[in-house]
A and B are shown apart, each in its own frame.
Chain A
Amino acid sequence: MLRSILRPNHIRLATSARLASTATAKPITNISPDTPLSVPSLRKLNTRWNTMTEVEKNELISALSERQKADWKTLTPLEKQAAWYISYGEWGPRTPIHPKGTVQKIVLGVLTGIAVSGLVFLSIRAVLPEKPKTMSQEWQQASNEELEKINAEPFSGYNQIQSPIRGVHPSEDDE
């Protein structure tokens, strides 16, 4: 009873899971520069590394350094991969700050935000009252004529037109 209080269930489960995950790797007994390490002890090291105990890690590290004392050409590809992973792999201080998929998550979030604001904008636009009467091309053409009369744009052209034609276009009317 006391044992179960001191050692909560989830820790026990985590420990057993860890043991299960490392169960395939047999203890390294054949430490010698000339004998290749057993394949199970090295396979998928990057997925197992964080769940291994310190003892297991140190064993593997020392075994690999023993192996590297011999000619490196004799190392098996798995050993090279394991040595590289232990030295430079994404664990300890080299663990990535942001887990994989963060960029996609951010991009998706931003796009969703833009889409939502676009929807809000369009729905507000949909319920707005009618545009002012000056927002017609006829009116704006008349504004242009008025501005031309007062020489409003002496250095280059001007244009007040921003709206599509509504009703009859003045030029069509003339015809």
Chain B
Amino acid sequence: MLIMNNYNNMFNDVPTPWGMYLQDSASPMAEGMLEVHDTVMFYLMMMLMLVGYLTYSMMKFNNKMSYKYLTHGSLLEFIWTLFPVMMLLLIAFPSFMLLYLTDDVIDPAMTIKCIGLQWYWSYEYSDFINDNGETISFDSYMMPEEMLEFGQLRLLDVDSRVVVPIDTHIRFIVTGGDVIHSFTVPALGFKVDATPGRLLQISTIITREGRFYGQCSEICGVAHSEMPMTIEAVSLPKFLDWLNEQ
């Protein structure tokens, strides 16, 4: 993994052509996911090498490289039963810990409601009201190809981004308006199904400023590929400025 990390340049807050690895993390949750991914990959590599060598020894019985006594023996059987059990435990513990940690929503400072619709996202900042006493809400559509400004990302940039402050506990409440969609932002470690009739929640603290792209991840119809989500994380003063403009 380390070698891969050093030799590719495919980390990003956005998908990158021929990207082979996960996007850079921008929240503790995504950091944890990267960590678990790398750890599990390490165990998988060890397992692959061991099983590969056992298979080789079985197939090439009289080869210099093989060890023929590896094919039978009670102690050996005991070990090769225990070893996978240990491996599974080593994989299960960190992943379950992470799973339950990501489930926790503790005392969020602000809440954003995300409603998946065919084929756009509708956002509602329920904690803030405008001059008319209405909550701030807007729809976010993908920028069509003919309207893209030079350099904008096709199928990723939207007309209105979700602006959020960094270093703030934010809760996203996700639901669907028609069919099941999925609110997914890889850099933040989000993937929440937007199911009609259900409210699912996920929380995060974004640790750096940036623009984080995601795409609907539940097949939802013909324009499933054309309802991306873009989260723009800014400093608190900038966020307040943005709020005032709404």
Contacts and interface: CB of A to CB of B under 8 A. Distances in A.
Interface of A: 132-134, 139, 142-143, 145-147, 150-162
Nearest to B153: A143
Contacts of A150: 209-211
Contacts of A155: 11, 24
Given A134-B152, A153-B11, 12 more contacts: A133-B145, A139-B151, A143-B151, A147-B12, A150-B209, A150-B211, A151-B209, A152-B211, A156-B5, A158-B11, A158-B14, A162-B18
B152 A146 contact: yes
30 contacts: A133-B145, A134-B152, A134-B154, A139-B150, A139-B151, A142-B150, A142-B151, A143-B153, A145-B151, A146-B151, A146-B152, A147-B13, A150-B209, A152-B12, A152-B13, A152-B210, A152-B211, A153-B12, A153-B13, A153-B24, A155-B24, A157-B9, A158-B12, A159-B9, A159-B17, A160-B17, A160-B153, A161-B17, A162-B17, A162-B18
For the residues of A in contact with B, the DSSP-based class is loop
B154 A147 contact: no
Contacts of B220: none
Contacts of A133: 145, 148
Pick the most buried of A133, A155, A158: most chain B CB atoms within 10 A of its CB. Answer: A158
Interface in B145-192: 145, 148, 150-154
B152 A143 contact: yes
Contacts of B18: 162
B14 A134 contact: no
Pick the most buried of B18, B151, B208: most chain A CB atoms within 10 A of its CB. Answer: B151
Given A160-B17, A162-B18, A132 B145 contact: yes
B16 interface: yes
A159 B16 contact: yes
B11 A156 contact: yes
B153 to A, nearest CB: 6
Contacts of B210: 150-152, 154
A157 B21 CA distance: 13
Closest A-B pairs by Cβ, 6 of them:
A142-B151, A162-B17, A157-B9, A134-B154, A146-B151, A158-B12
B204 to A, nearest CB: 17
Interface string B201-212: 000000011110
A154 B24 contact: yes
Interface string B121-151: 0000000000000000000000001001011
A167 to B, nearest CB: 13
Nearest to A153: B12
Nearest to B25: A155
Contacts of A151: 208-210
A153 B24 CA distance: 7
Contacts of B153: 134, 143, 160
A147 B16 CA distance: 11
A134 B145 contact: yes
A151 B24 CA distance: 12
Contacts of A156: 5, 9, 11
A48 B145 CA distance: 74
Contacts of B150: 139, 142
Contact of A160 (B5, B16, B24, B209): B16
A139 B148 CA distance: 11
Contacts of A152: 12-14, 210-211
Given A151-B210, A152-B12, A134 B148 contact: yes
A15 B208 CA distance: 88
B12 A154 contact: no
B233 to A, nearest CB: 10
A143 B154 CA distance: 10
Nearest to A161: B17
Nearest to A142: B151
A157 B8 CA distance: 8
